Structure 1
Amino acid sequence: MSDLLVLVGGAWLIVAPFLFGYGDTEAADAARVNDLTVGGTLVLLAALSLALTARTQSRGRQRADR
């Protein structure tokens, strides 16, 4: 469940600069780059965690069926 929240938070960080139009200042550019970098990292790590969790659970079910 927490992985999904991290994934949604990361997606929000990626979308926010485009929804709110941070402006054209140097500080706004830095904030945009920061949001995209951190958001992308969060999405990537959350997706990896979700995939590994699903794989582990799938293997556990396969062993239980034997």
Structure 2
Amino acid sequence: MKRCHAFLLLTGAALSGLLLSCTRHEVEVKPVEIKPIHITIDVNVKVDRALDDFFSDIDEAAEDVSQ
């Protein structure tokens, strides 16, 4: 009988400890730091000018035809 009481006492204590630990839900929310993003875009103007020079004769011919 004493074993049964000791077992029930230990089981009750263990269950009480589990239930008490389950009732505390603390979540720490830290602020989120957002940093700016720097993006560098290089535009190759030399290629654009070379394409304009390459197609300039076609553009002039198109203007002559349309007039």
TM-score above 0.5:
no
Task: Tell me the TM-score normalised to structure 2 length.
Answer: 0.38
Q: RCO higher in 1 or 2 (8 Å CA, sep ≥ 6)?
A: 1
Higher percent of residues as helix: 1
